[in-house]
Amino acid sequence: MLELLERAAGAGGGESTRAASPSAFGLVPEQLAERGCPGSVNNAFQRLQRPWTWTHVEPPLHQAAARWLVEHTDLRLPEVERDVGASDGTTRVVYRSGGDAFEAVHMPRDVRAPRVTMCLSSQVGCGMGCRFCATASMGLVRNLSAGEIVGQVLATMDRIGPKTSNQLSLVFMGMGEPLHNVTEVVHAISTLCHPLGLGLSPRRITVSTSGVVKGIDELARAPRRPRLALSLNATTNPTRTAIMPVNRKWDLAELRAALGRWPFEARERITVEYVMLAGINDADDDVDRLVAWLDGLPHMLNLIPFNPHHAAPGMRASSPERVSEFAAALHAAGCRVTVRVNRGRDVAAACGQLVVGAGSGR
Ligand code: SAH
Ligand code: SF4
């Protein structure tokens, strides 16, 4: 992309791209105009946001606009440090941007029409400290910018696919707590949904939170409101606080009230994620409390088999039989419930396994 624009601008070399400039991929047409981009800002935005236009020069990009982009924005996409393919078709892509590494996971789904779900990171590391999660062991390094979040999507499409955006769904279930970085996440979503860019429907984007109530309320007001997923993972306050420290700030009752305020569209459901931990949250009483907590909430309960890792010693996965019994009991009580198929386990791309850097052993 950078080379293409430099050619269009008649400039040479990458030196004119200024590291301190904002990422070109996080600017919507209005922002390009405000900052002084000459020519058609719609055309410039379109060329930046559509990877399938990067390899050819038609439609032509206004030369002055190309020069302006080279001089006033950072045109570098997050760099692929490595990508690792799993036996089930999942690819874990490690990106580097601004000196930090973060990950995206590309998951093709081979149903009748080929579709891809991309699992995105919103932060480098995570500061929420959930006991069962490998990313927590990194701590929070920093927030990703909207340009880096959008860049993850565009770079992954360019490298692995899909070729066009009508086959793409996005989930913010990689590294980080998206609602601790809600401004950049909301701006990234608006950019990804812009009709002159990928034009994604916000219904195909899911933001998963550990329960940051302030952020849930803010997301509810987003101009392009995505689907919401909540990582519940426990049915009593003492257990939830023990495994998810965020529960100290917003407890189960406050969380349930926040979901009650969510402005549901017709047929919309909130995904409630529940990692199954043997002896911690998989008792018969948990079923009863879960049913009570979900009462009146349009939901899809997603039971997630726990992926053990070095940062959670002593935590064990509920047996597959226990997961099935648990699901059956919830179903019998009227809940909508599915069991998540864990993908990419052999390349550590599965839920809660994303960790980069010192001590990860990978
Ligand atoms: N921070 C956000 C999104 C990323 S985590 C959140 O917590 O919702 C995505 C999902 O992976 C969450 O539902 C989380 O509960 C789950 N998860 C974390 N560690 C896991 C592990 N070791 N095994 C299985 N699922 C895990
Ligand atoms: Fe952060 Fe989510 Fe992991 Fe908790 S489960 S530490 S919020 S990434």
Helix axes 284-294, 320-332, angle to 10 degrees: 40
- In this predicted model, what pLDDT tens digit does every residue of 244-286 receive, in sequence order? 999 999 999 999 999 999 999 999 999 999 999 999 999 999 9
Closest listed ligand to the CA of 355: 2
- In this predicted model, what pLDDT tens digit does every residue of 291-337 receive, in sequence order? 999 999 999 999 999 999 888 988 999 999 999 999 999 999 999 99
* Amino acid at position 140, single letter: L
CA dihedral 15, 20, 26, 27 (to 10 degrees): -90
Three state DSSP letters for 40-75: CHHHHHHHHHCHHHCCCCCCCCCHHHHHHHHHHCEC
- In this predicted model, what pLDDT tens digit does every residue of 131-169 receive, in sequence order? 999 999 999 999 999 999 999 999 999 999 999 999 999
CB of 209 closer than 6 A to ligand 1?
A: yes
Per-domain boundaries in the chain: 2-72, 79-347
Q: Is 58 or 62 the better-scoring residue by pLDDT?
A: 62
Distance 304 CA to ligand 1 centre (A): 9
Query: What tokens were used for 31?
Result: 């922002």
| Three-state SS at 298 | coil
Query: What tokens were used for 284?
Result: 């018969």
CA distance 301 to 285: 17
> Half-sphere exposure of 353 toward its Cβ, with a 13 Å CA cutoff?
20
CA distance 7 to 5: 5
CB of 184 closer than 6 A to ligand 1?
A: no
CB of 247 closer than 6 A to ligand 1?
A: no
Q: How many other C-beta atoms lie within 10 A of the C-beta of residue 189? A: 26
CA distance 349 to 106: 9
Active site residue 130: no
CB contact at 8 A, 64 and 83 = no
79-347 belongs to CATH 3.40.190.10: no
**Is pTM beyond 0.85 here?**
yes
